[in-house]
Amino acid sequence: MENEITTPNTNTESAPKKRMLSGIQPSGDLHLGNYLGAIKNWADRVNDYECYYFMADLHTITVRQDPATLRKRSLNQLAQYIACGLDPEKNVLFLQSHVPAHAQLAWVLNCYTMFGELSRMTQFKDKSAKHKDNINAGLFTYPVLMAADILLYQADYVPVGEDQKQHVEITRDIAQRFNSIYGDVFKVPEAFIPKAGARVYGLTTPGDKMSKSIPEGCVFIMDSPDEIARKFKRAVTDSDTEHCVRFDRENKPGVANLMNIYSAITGESFEEIEREFDGMGYGAFKPKVGEAVIEHLRPIREEAERLMADKAYLNEVYKNGAERASYIANKTLRKVYKKVGFYQLP
């Protein structure tokens, strides 16, 4: 799509930083796909962008959650964000439900979003198929809440994978529709598709993204070294007879996925990886990838464990993050309320 960008905008010293926003649901521990595909890149952008990253707890309840578990995960995910390199002094880190403006703007935007637009969203179709006993209205209007998340902060860019581009497209449509009626209210965001980085696939399902819903093929940041090693030893490769380490996404998706992970961790190119493991076969390659992942995640896991034990610190980060996020969000919400005609107290 023409609004996509693939490289960061380098800001001059005098120009204000562009704003970037993203979030992940606290529906389980963060995994290697979240880290390599998103969070690792988020941490690298802090000097170029004004960054807002949140725990998307409002989005999680389209699927039934155990309340105590959700509360625990919301705290633990913040610890994992910080351990992955997101400095709360340099990034605005917050919990979505701590900023009521998300839900308030979502209702207004519901009234400017067409039923047909929502019915065409592929995520609704996919999730409806998986949760046939709970096809609720929140699942249907999920993209509107996502649009509110983005538009509240007048975000310039939204880092997304290829599978999330549709959500940025509908956000742009909603913003442009609202602006066409009321003037220049929302900044129309652009999808930020990184050139590199990794779309990590499941170790047991290399045709699908790594997912918490398939834990045996999912490497979690908080997994023990033994558990990570076990998962990589059982990773799917391919059934051909050559058993060579060669990047071929179409014909050797399992090997390509392992090479992609190894490249993201070590910085080696695919050509360098092919040379390193020339003639060695999968029996040597899979444990080597596991070892690289174990050593890379070890300091992250240990720091996350330390932070999880300091609940007072995490609560303070959340409090400060909510205050900083609310300052921007409430300015946008007040403007929207005024435009649509809601009477506001002096």
The domains of the chain are located at: 18-196+310-340, 215-307
More confident residue, 10 or 207: 207
Q: Give pTM, 2 decimals.
A: 0.87
Considering the candidates 18, 40, 127, 231, report the single residue annotated as catalytic: 127
Please report the pLDDT score of residue 14 as a whole number. 55
Average pLDDT over residues 307-327: 97
Same fold, 18-196+310-340 and 215-307: no
Distance of alpha carbon 137 from alpha carbon 115, whole angstroms: 12
Average pLDDT over residues 231-250: 83
Superfamily of domain 215-307: Tyrosyl-Transfer RNA Synthetase (1.10.240.10)
CATH topology of domain 18-196+310-340: Rossmann fold (3.40.50)
Distance of alpha carbon 173 from alpha carbon 117, whole angstroms: 10
17 an active-site residue? no
127 an active-site residue? yes
Considering the candidates 165, 209, 331, 339, report the single residue annotated as catalytic: 209
- Residue 157 burial (10 A CB sphere; 0-12, 13-18, 19+): buried
User: How do residues 134-147 score in pLDDT, each as one tens digit?
Assistant: 788 888 999 999 99
- The answer to whether residue 3 scores a pLDDT higher than 50 is no
Please report the pLDDT score of residue 241 as a whole number. 60
Highest average pLDDT, of 73-77, 128-132, 189-193, comes from: 73-77
Average pLDDT over residues 230-253: 85
Mean pLDDT, the chain, whole residue set: 89
Considering the candidates 17, 165, 187, 212, report the single residue annotated as catalytic: 212
Please report the pLDDT score of residue 57 as a whole number. 96
